[in-house]
Amino acid sequence: MTNDAFHAQQAEPSRTAVTLADAEPVALRRTNAGDYCRGIQRARHNEFWWYFNGLVARRNYWKPFQDPAGRWWWFVKPWFAWPVDFFSAVSDSVAIRHRRFLLGWQYPVVEDVADSCVRLNVVPDLSGYDLDRIERKKRRHAIRRALRELRYEIVNSADPSVAEQACTIWNSHVQRTGWNRTMPVGAFVESWIELAAIPGTTVVFARDPAQGGLPCAWLITRGIDHTLFIDTIASHTDRLALGPNDGLIFLALWSAAKMRMAHAHYGLQSSIETLEDFKRSLGFEPHPFPTKLRLRFPVEVALRLLRPRVFRRLRGDWPLRAGE
């Protein structure tokens, strides 16, 4: 599919109207790519996405940068960059070609000149997003229940008590899923205090009124230009009965649609089928964006010979095996 076809794609409504009762959108924060990236450049405890805290050492080195053409780029891996806006084709990358610290970069292009693809989970068109977009009856039921029985609120991440509650949920989430790493309370609070100052960042809690407002899960979103980015979601293992993840993701997408955002982005397609199934059930689809892949000559040779799976993933070869 070309980028033009991607932008022209429209979601098909379901045959039966599905209504929401007693649900209200939340006021997500929104900014432009420049203000967001400059906010991340000033940050000491955060990278482009919050969850990078536990994945990349020496994180202060991997800050987004702007090329002479005005595009903003970020490091999906150390020394390897993507443009922030993946929904707009880039005509060339001359502007960053000579940045000495870059070992590789990849960017969206028109399909005719592509040599690779990046599969991102996206909602192509958020306009009119509602329960009608949820095809599975079971998922619609879970969303309605979660919206009815839980309370959702935007929280101040700079409040240490809020951050401590979020840390408890995060560590439970990591222990259950095995993804990322647990964090000590002190480091977690420092990071979350900083989140409050990063433009376009919203933190939403799902609370259980029947248990005195006990927080069950939280979600970090980034509203950047025309796109809602799902950054990080975490849920407490012992507080999943009411489906807080369903409620949080749906509410974020529904709210972004009300704010007239155009797209939603929920990260790379993975080989974790349960996670991918959850995303698809909420309207995301693994779209193969046509791209140009640029690697320094020694890096490409080394990857082909020593890390062929990494190279396959960069090229967009699919399907991947579990764990790739």
Q: How confident is the model at residue 85 (pLDDT cuts 50, 70, 90)?
A: very high
Q: Are 74 and 64 in contact (CB under 8 A)?
A: yes
The distance in angstroms from the start CA to the end CA of the chain is 24
Residue 16 placed within a domain? no
Residue 2 placed within a domain? no
How far are the Cα atoms of 181, 225, 254, 285, 295 from residue 123, in angstroms, in the given order? 29, 15, 12, 6, 29
Q: What is the CATH number of the domain that holds 203?
A: 3.40.630.30
Specify the residue for token string 């480091």. 187
**Whether pLDDT at 55 is above 60:** no
Q: How confident is the model at residue 54 (pLDDT cuts 50, 70, 90)?
A: low
Q: How far is it, in rounded angstroms, from Cα 164 to Cα 174?
A: 15
Q: How far is it, in rounded angstroms, from Cα 127 to Cα 22?
A: 21
Number of domains in the chain: 1
Residue 17 placed within a domain? no
Give the domain range for residue 102: 23-315
Helix (H), strand (E) counts: the chain: 9, 11
The model's pLDDT over 97-133, given as tens digits with 9 standing for 90+, comes to 656 678 889 999 999 999 999 999 999 999 999 998 9
Q: How far is it, in rounded angstroms, from Cα 229 to Cα 8?
A: 20
Q: What is the mean pLDDT of the chain?
A: 87
The predicted pLDDT at position 3 comes to 52
Residue 286 placed within a domain? yes
The model's pLDDT over 202-235, given as tens digits with 9 standing for 90+, comes to 999 999 999 999 999 999 999 999 999 999 999 9
Residue 11 placed within a domain? no
The predicted pLDDT at position 251 comes to 97
Residue 58 placed within a domain? yes
How far are the Cα atoms of 1, 41, 145, 265 from residue 242, in angstroms, in the given order? 38, 38, 7, 25
68: preceding bond cis by omega (within 30 degrees): no
The model's pLDDT over 253-310, given as tens digits with 9 standing for 90+, comes to 999 999 999 999 999 888 788 899 999 999 999 999 999 999 888 888 888 888 888 8
Residue 12 placed within a domain? no
Closest CA to 102 of 69, 67, 56: 67
